[in-house]
Chain A
Amino acid sequence: KAGVTQTPRYLIKTRGQQVTLSCSPISGHRSVSWYQQTPGQGLQFLFEYFSETQRNKGNFPGRFSGRQFSNSRSEMNVSTLELGDSALYLCASSSEGGSQPQHFGDGTRLSIL
C-alpha cells in the first residue's frame, strides 16, 4: 500500500509569490491534515479536510488555504509569501476512527528568499 505522497519535495520562492503544494493520501483515507513544521514552533496544525470539506482550521492567516478533491487528494496554497513561511510543510492522512493514527508524507521543504 503506497504511503502519503507529497510534491514537490523542495521549493524555492521569493517574497510576494504564491505556491501550491500537493498531497496524495493513502488509498482509502478520506481525512487529510496539513501542518507547518519549524525548528522554533514545532508542528503546527494548519487545517484538515474530509470529504472535500474543511473540517478544522488552525490559527494561520487567510493567506494559507487548501482544498480537497473527490479522490481525497489535497492541495495547499500560500499567497503573498513571507520570509517567515519558510518551513517544512507536512501532510498526513488517516482513516476514520478515534484510534487511527495519522500517517505523514515526507513533506515539502519551502524556502523563501
Chain B
Amino acid sequence: GQNIDQPTEMTATEGAIVQINCTYQTSGFNGLFWYQQHAGEAPTFLSYNVLDGLEEKGRFSSFLSRSKGYSYLLLKELQMKDSASYLCAVRDLDSGAGSYQLTFGKGTKLSVIP
C-alpha cells in the first residue's frame, strides 16, 4: 500500500508565499499530482511531476524529489480565492494488475487571511 502525509491545515496571508509539503512511501512510483478542491466542489488538477525538479505554472509551482519521497506545492502572491484544500496524489504501478492506481493524501486545508 501507500502512505501519503500532508499537513492538515495551514494559514497564510494574502500576497504571501506558502509551501505545502507532501511525503509519500510507495513502490512502483509513476508520478505525483496536485489537486485543488474548494469546499463543496470537485477537485481540479493543478500540476503533475514525474521527474525530479520544479514545474512552474503561473503562481503555482510543484517540486518533486523521488529519492526522498517528497513533493511540495508552492503558491505565490496568495489571493483570497486560493483558500481551499490541496490534495497530493501519488500514482503507482500495480505490476500484478498491470495498471496504475492513484492514491490521495487527506489534503491540506489552506486558509488565506487578509
Contacts and interface: CB of A to CB of B under 8 A. Distances in A.
Contacts of A99: 31, 48, 50
Interface string A14-49: 000000000000000000010100000111110010
A50 B97 CA distance: 13
A101 B107 contact: no
Contact of B97 (A55, A90, A98, A107): A55
A50 B98 CA distance: 12
Contacts of A44: 104
Interface size class of A (residues with CB under 8 A): 20 to 34
B65 interface: no
A52 interface: no
Contact of B107 (A33, A42, A50, A102): A42
A103 interface: yes
Interface residues of B, number: 24
Interface string A91-113: 00000001101111111000000
B7 interface: no
A104 B87 CA distance: 13
A45 B102 contact: yes
B30 interface: yes
A106 B41 contact: yes
A41 B103 CA distance: 12
Contacts of B104: 35, 42-45
A56 interface: yes
Interface of B: 30-31, 33, 41-45, 48, 50, 87, 89, 91, 94, 97, 99-107
Given A55-B99, A98-B100, 16 more contacts: A33-B102, A42-B87, A42-B106, A43-B87, A43-B89, A44-B104, A48-B99, A55-B97, A56-B97, A56-B99, A56-B100, A98-B31, A99-B48, A101-B45, A102-B33, A104-B44
Interface of A: 4, 33, 35, 41-45, 48, 50, 55-56, 90, 98-99, 101-107
